Amino acid sequence: MARKRRGQAASPWDADAQVSRERDFVTDREARLDRRARKWRWVIIACLVLMPVCVVGSLSVLQRVDTDPNADAVSFAQMSAPGRDVAQRAVDVWLADVSNPIPGGVVASWDGARKLDVYVPRSEEAKLEKGEVQDRWVHDFTVRRDGGQAQSGAQSGDSVVPVGTDGQVVGELYRVSQLVKCSGAGGCVTVGMPSVVPLPGQDASVSDGLASWPWSKNTQAPAPVVDAVGAWVDAFTSGDPTKLRVQVADPDSSHEFVPLSGVVAVQWQIVESAYRFGADGFDQAPDSSDEMIVRVRLSVDRGVRDEHGDPVLAPMDMDVLVVGAKSAPRVVAWGGVGTGYELKAFENATVKGRVH
């Protein structure tokens, strides 16, 4: 290209070239923006189309779950079933009879019911449609035949299951089933007597001589410890805070202990007991420790009576800490099952006048 001389007028061809280059740049930029806009335009259109579809699908699934009759049936079967109260009453009466095959047995749980299939002749199929065929349900219960070290707190006449040679609880479990026939109107009656099927007992391989608590060794509670536990049971169920504080012998006069109130009578038994050690002293001889953990089972009578006028006992288990096991034993703390190894003396105390 020829070089421009100074003062020489600009050529019109130069202006056209500059405009052409600017136009090409603008055109390329617009093309890139247009391609980007088309891409996002399709994304937005897809979202607008798919969103209502997703919402409708979700609502449809939720509606099917909420209205699923099988889900309601399963939920109902887990909580109850027709004739449950009739079946349980029959089992309770059967267990109360001294001639039943599980002396001392009590119902531990209701395990559900199974509806039996009903077959009718073709000539009577119309009864099915009219609801005239009676349903049959088999109710299953777990019955526990239990026992322990019988104490003086038990009422006379109670049947106590023999304990093992180590003084610990010997328990037996049974599956008891009762057939019930129910009409369409809701009335139910029992059919026949309950059946009994023994359930597998404790696995001997699990009983390795260790206690239920860490850093402890199982042993039978000596007589002084048994007496101390009995004294604590009387004070704990007396409803008298002063009596319980005196029994615990807390030296802090600002402390008080809250007893269980409203108890008419109580039965109790020792379920398990062990000497308590720390991690450093676990290898010592069992009787070298002066602390014991005792699991005590309380059957509390709060004045409630059944239809036969017999007391309805409320069973519960507690761990208690006994200090001075080899000298002057006394219970100084208590808590839930399994907490015995971490109980601390007087931890159940509250400060007088403080509202918790």
Q: What is the structure's pLDDT at 169?
A: 36
Residue 64 has pLDDT above 90, yes or no: no
- Position 259 pLDDT exceeds 80: yes
pLDDT of residue 343: 92
Per DSSP, the three-state class of 106 is: strand
Q: How high is the pLDDT of residue 14?
A: 55
* pLDDT score at 308: 81
Backbone angles phi, psi at 345, to 5 degrees: -55, 130
- Tell me the C-alpha distance between 56 and 62, whole Å: 10
Per the prediction, the chain carries an average pLDDT of: 75
Q: What is the pLDDT of residue 217?
A: 77
Of 38-47, 100-109, 224-233, which gets the smallest average pLDDT?
Answer: 38-47
Mean pLDDT calculated for residue range 331-336: 94
**Residues 6 or more apart whose Cβ sits within 8 Å of residue 168:** 148, 218, 220, 271, 272
Q: Determine contact, residues 201/161, Cβ cutoff 8 Å.
A: no
Is a pLDDT exceeding 80 seen at residue 83? yes
Structure token digits, residue 332: 């100084």
* The predicted structure's pLDDT at residue 41: 79
H/E segment holding residue 229: helix 223-236
Q: Is pLDDT at 47 greater than 90 in this prediction?
A: no
Q: What is the DSSP letter of 3?
A: P
> Per-residue pLDDT tens for 207-242?
545 567 877 778 889 999 999 999 999 999 999 999
d(CA 135, CA 153): 46
pTM, rounded to two decimals: 0.46
Burial of 153 (0-12, 13-18, 19+ CB in 10 A): middle
Nearest partner of 116 among 177, 69, 73, 179, judged by Cα: 179
Is the separation of the CB atoms in 261 and 240 below 8 Å? Answer: no
- Determine the pLDDT at residue 163: 37
Residue in 184, 159, 160 with CA at minimum distance from that of residue 170: 160
**Please, which pLDDT band fits residue 148 given cuts at 50, 70 and 90?**
very low
Domain 216-351: state its class: alpha beta
Helix, strand, coil percent content, the chain, rounded in steps of 5: 35, 30, 40
Distances (CA, A) of 241 to 1, 122, 170, 252, 256: 116, 72, 35, 14, 7
**Max mean pLDDT range (49-63, 170-184, 262-276):** 262-276
User: Which of 71-80, 120-129, 311-320 is the least confident region?
Assistant: 71-80
Return d(Cα 174, Cα 295) in angstroms, integer.
24
- Give me 285's structure tokens: 């001889």
Q: In angstroms, what CA-CA distances link 210 with 205, 224, 273, 276, 296?
A: 12, 23, 11, 12, 18
* Closest listed residue to residue 192, CA positions, set 184, 181, 182: 181
What is the average pLDDT across 111-120? 80
For residue range 152-184, list pLDDT tens digits in order: 333 222 333 333 433 333 468 889 999 998 876
Token pair 């994304």 is at which residue?
Answer: 43
Least reliable range by pLDDT among 139-148, 256-265, 309-318: 139-148
**Within 10 Å of residue 179's Cβ, how many Cβ atoms?**
19
Compute the CA torsion angle 233, 236, 240, 246 (nearest 10 deg): 80
SS3 (DSSP) at 95: helix
Residues 278 and 165: beta-carbon distance below 8 Å: no
- pLDDT surpasses 50 at 44: yes
